[in-house]
Amino acid sequence: MLEVLVDPFAEFGFMRRALVGCIAVSVGATPVGVFLMLRRMSLTGDAMAHAILPGAAVGFLVSGLSLGAMTIGGLIAGMAVALLAGFVTRATALREDASLAAFYLISLALGVLIVSTRGSNVDLMHVLFGTVLALDDNALILLCTIASVSLLTLAVFFRPLVLECADPQFLRSISGLSAITHFVFLTLVVLNLVAGFHALGTLMAVGIMILPAAAARFWTTGIGGLLIAAALIAVISSVAGLLLSYYFSLPSGPAIILVAGVFYTLSLLLGPVGSLAASSRRGPSLQT
Amino acid sequence: MIIRRTLLASISALAAIGLTCGMATAADDKKLAVVATFSILGDMVGSIGGDHIKLTTLVGPNGDAHVYQPVPADARAVSEADLLVVNGLAFEGWLDRLVDASGFSGMRLVATDGIEPLPFEEEGDHDDEKHGDDHADHKDDDHAGHKDDDHAEHKDDDHGHKDDDHAEHKDDDHAGHKDDDHHGHDHGAFDPHAWQSIEAAMVYIDNITAALSKADPAHASSYYQNRAAYVAELTALETELRTMFDALPEDARTVVTPHDAFGYFADAYGLKFLAPQGISTESEASAADVAKLIRQIRAEGIKGVFVENVADSRLLEQIANETGAVIGGSLYSDALSESDGPASTYLDMMRHNARTLAQALSS
């Protein structure tokens, strides 16, 4: 049994690299996902992923398959959308969801336009659906750096972030940190999506960010528990997804996200906190 | 009311513009308008048609015709075309929708008509040199003569030779394939990359010449002249490639490429190509595919790992890293290079690929 789990990683360097990359993304992105969920911004992650895609595409068109150019392009596009949306929200009557949607759609359309006018070289969707099996040294260093920076920043901003989740009005009334916290947090979202995009592709990167967080919600209520449970679920999903891809010839990225999806579904049905099972246990007592 | 009037006016203005545009292009050139789907076909059509045709190529140099997204300009080119040259064998999956949408009413030529298509194969293990010698016989009389008789001859003997081993393939290999094969999902039953064999390219050329002559009989003699010159070049290239690959030792004939584009090349010159990505660039490699490939590279001591101009090379670089194999260079599989590149014509492409392969394999 143990051999089944260990052998692929022992025999093949590319499996070890994929594992390291996935763990880095899991550890870095899931805490961000937990805060996104707690702040009811889960779909913001999705919007930001779309906003990154054109930036990375432009980076690719300018200097080919370069890790640096695609990372910087993605960061610039993502940050521009996040900052503009944040600014519009704070300065005008438009709510955050609407302004974010507006800016990411503009960014997406701009990216598609640029790509089309430059003609189709190596099909861009292939490049943008990063493959976790082809992580080179530079990509791994980038993923681990982003995960470390993300964790350290979260540690520094942990209190204001939790406060902002629980009672944003209160935080705004006692401290000027509210706006800074918000922008730092959005930066982390963009950073982690860019990291995830190198390993899993832009769309799958949102999956590893949000699904474990949503699954963890059915197991515990404390913020510490949520963070640990989510990271754990993400890491287990990564390992299981890679092994499934290895033994059953499945594409790796979708396999990983689908395992996370299975975790979510099981948690939704059976988890001890607020799941279907939990509410049906409570159900009869409410009726009487 | 005013709005409605403006609308009506602008619509009729648009219609008028459309009409004049249509008339202008019709009057502009009396040349035969030919559309080829991708750069390699375009080069062949251009070589035969010369100055007598107005050629449009839809998927340009370095473009991947497996997953191309047509733009409105393509639909316009197709709608105005007298002759549309496609590869066939389900290579251009996006083409039918484009043709339907454009209202194309001209002649459609499938360039692979009359070749013996290879069925899909995972390994591409054609063990033999089977038509090495019969091909040599053919060259002398075959391609020098005129089209009518030698085309028939071509089909009978040249390809007849392959018939038995193909029948075999179809029975077991091919049938077994459909079930477990996750590659090439929306492609037909055959490998479409037929231009990778010069023998098949002769058929392409014959088909193109015949279609051009039929669509534009006035210049038929010129087309046949161009064909004769082109076939002479193909024949010379074939001899060159054959000498090159016959010299290779038996145990150094396996190479790795990103996607399975070289089935016909392998078949013609007794090489073996392995690929993590399968027959179309659309499919995504799984960990199992990559692991299998790495085991095979290690076990057989494969030296030649190559990247392609239309496929993502990152995975191959990782595989080369892990096995100690060296990236032997870049091959042009489904598209030509830009005009200043090493493979700007079909002939240059075949020569470049062959030299790159032979050099890496013989070192």
Within 8 A of A122 by CB-CB distance, chain B residues are: 62, 64, 309-312
Most confident of A24-33, B27-36, B132-141, B159-168: A24-33
pLDDT reported for residue B7: 61
Angle at B66 between CA B61 and CA B70, to 5 degrees: 75
Per-residue confidence (pLDDT) for residue A117, from 0 to 100: 62
The answer to whether residues B323 and B286 touch, using CB atoms and an 8 Å cutoff, is: no
Measure Cα distances from B213 to B123, B148, B221, B249 in Å. Answer: 40, 13, 8, 44
* Lowest mean pLDDT segment, chosen from B122-136, B178-192, B254-268: B122-136
- Chain B stretch 247-306, residues whose beta carbon is closer than 8 A to a beta carbon of chain A: 281, 284-291, 294
Q: What is the pLDDT of residue B310?
A: 65
Give the minimum alpha-carbon distance from B315 to chain A in angstroms, rounded to a whole number: 5
Give CA–CA dist B93/B88, Å, rounded: 9
Residue B15: pLDDT band by 50, 70, 90 thresholds?
low
Q: Is the pLDDT of residue A232 over 60?
A: yes
Give the pLDDT confidence score for residue A209 in this predicted structure: 92
- Top residue of B318, B322, B327 to mutate, by most chain A CBs within 10 Å, is B318
DSSP characters over B220-249? HHHHHHHHHHHHHHHHHHHHHHHHHHHTS-
pLDDT grade, residue B281 (50/70/90)? low
Any A CB within 8 A of B59 CB: yes
Task: Between B295 and B151, name the one with better pLDDT.
Answer: B295
C-alpha A105/C-alpha A116 separation (Å) is 16
pLDDT for B138 equals 41
Predicted confidence (pLDDT) at residue B127 exceeds the cutoff of 60: no
Q: Which of residues B29 and A103 earns the better pLDDT score?
A: A103
User: pLDDT tens digit string along A38-57?
Assistant: 988 888 888 888 888 788 87
ipTM, two decimals, is: 0.77
Amino acid, single-letter form, for residue A165: C
Q: From CA A15, how far away is CA A6, in angstroms rounded? A: 10
- B182 CB near a chain A CB, below 8 Å? yes
Q: How many CB atoms lie within 10 A of CB A198?
A: 28
- Cβ–Cβ gap B318/A14 under 8 Å: yes
Side chain identity at residue B68, one-letter code: Y
* pLDDT (tens digit per residue) in B201-259: 999 999 999 999 999 999 999 999 999 999 999 999 999 999 888 888 877 788 888 87
pLDDT band at B2, cuts 50/70/90? low
Least confident of A37-41, A183-187, B22-26, B284-288: B22-26
**CA Rg, chain B, in Å?**
22
Q: Does residue A58 register a pLDDT over 50? A: yes
A117 in B contact zone (CB under 8 Å): no
Q: Where are the beta strands (DSSP E) in chain B?
A: 32-38, 53-59, 83-86, 107-110, 254-256, 272-274, 304-308, 326-331
Confidence of residue A221 (pLDDT cuts 50, 70, 90): confident
Residue pLDDT, tens place only, A107-128: 878 777 776 665 554 555 555 6
**Rounded to an integer, what distance in angstroms lies between the CA atom of residue A47 and that of residue A97?**
9
DSSP symbols for chain A: -HHHHHHHHHH-HHHHHHHHHHHHHHHHHHHHHHHHHHTT-HHHHHHHHHHHHHHHHHHHHHHSS-HHHHHHHHHHHHHHHHHHHHHHHHHSSS-HHHHHHHHHHHHHHHHHHHHHHT---S-HHHHHS--GGG--HHHHHHHHHHHHHHHHHHHHTHHHHHHHHH-HHHHHHH-THHHHHHHHHHHHHHHHHHHHHHHH-HHHHHHHHHHHHHHHTTT--SHHHHHHHHHHHHHHHHHHHHHHHHHH--BHHHHHHHHHHHHHHHHHHH-SSSSHHHHHHHHHHHH-
- Give me the half-sphere count of Cα atoms (radius 13 Å) on the Cβ side of residue A40: 6
Sheet strand arrangement including B53-59: B53-59, B32-38, B83-86, B107-110
Structure confidence by residue, pLDDT tens digits, A132-183: 888 888 889 999 999 999 999 999 999 988 988 888 788 778 777 788 888 8
pLDDT at residue number B163? 41
* Maximal CA-CA distance, chain B: 84
pLDDT of residue A128: 61
Contact B48, B65 (CB under 8 A): no
Find which of A11, A121, A248, A258 to mutate to test the B interface (most B CBs within 10 Å of its CB).
A121
Chain B partners of A131 at a C-beta cutoff of 8 Å?
A: 284-285, 312, 314-315
For residue B339, give the nearest of B65, B60, B119 by alpha carbon: B60
Distance CA A232, CA A215 (A): 11
Determine the average pLDDT of the residues in B256-264.
83
Which residues of chain A have a CB within 8 Å of the CB of B281? Answer: 123, 126
User: In a mutagenesis test of the A interface, which of B305, B312, B331, B336 is the best target, namely the one with the most A β-carbons within 10 Å?
Assistant: B312
Which residue, chain included where needed, has tokens 């595919």?
B289
Comparing CB atoms, the residue among A14, A248, A250 nearest residue B322 is: A14
Give the phi and the psi of residue B306 in degrees, each rounded to 5: -125, 150
Given this model, what pLDDT does residue A156 score? 93
How confident is the model at residue A231, as a pLDDT?
Answer: 95
The pLDDT of residue A215 is above 90: yes
Contact flag A116-B59 (C-beta cutoff 8 Å) = no
Tell me the range of A209-218, A249-258, B55-64, B261-270 where mean pLDDT is highest: A209-218
pLDDT value at position B271? 86
The least confident of A72-76, A228-232, A283-287, B248-252 is: A283-287
Whether the CB-CB separation of B78 and B98 falls below 8 Å is answered with: yes
Question: How far B297 CA sits from the closest chain A CA (Å)?
Answer: 13
Averaged pLDDT, B37-61 = 91
- Identify the pLDDT of residue B139: 38
| Contact (CB<8Å) A245/B287 | yes
- Chain A neighbors of B309, CB-CB under 8 A: 122
Can you tell me the mean pLDDT for B129-149?
A: 39
Phi and psi, residue A91, nearest 5°: -100, -20
Whole-angstrom Cα distance, residue B29 to residue B139? 39
pLDDT recorded at residue A243: 93
| B347: enclosing H helix or E strand | helix B346-362
Inspect the interface and report whether the beta carbons of B63 and A14 lie closer than 8 Å.
Answer: no
Phi and psi at residue B105, to the nearest 5°: -130, 10
The mean pLDDT value of chain B amounts to: 75
Distance in angstroms (rounded) separating the CA atoms of residues B271 and B278: 17
Longest alpha-carbon distance in chain A:
68
Contact A12 B281 (CB under 8 A): no
pLDDT 10s digits, B175-192? 333 333 333 334 457 888
What residues of B are in contact with residue A238 (Cβ under 8 Å)?
none
Pairwise CA distance, residues B237 & B350, whole Å: 8
Mean pLDDT across chain A: 84
pLDDT value, residue B330: 85
Mean pLDDT of B336-343: 85
CB spacing of A126 vs B322 below 8 angstroms: no
pLDDT digits (tens, 9 = 90+) for B155-178: 444 443 444 444 334 333 333 333
Contact A126 B312 (CB under 8 A): yes
Q: Which residue has the tokens 């298509």?
A: B117
- C-alpha–C-alpha distance, residues A197 and A184, integer Å: 20
Q: Are the C-beta atoms of residues B260 and B273 closer than 8 Å to each other?
A: yes
Stated pTM of the model: 0.71
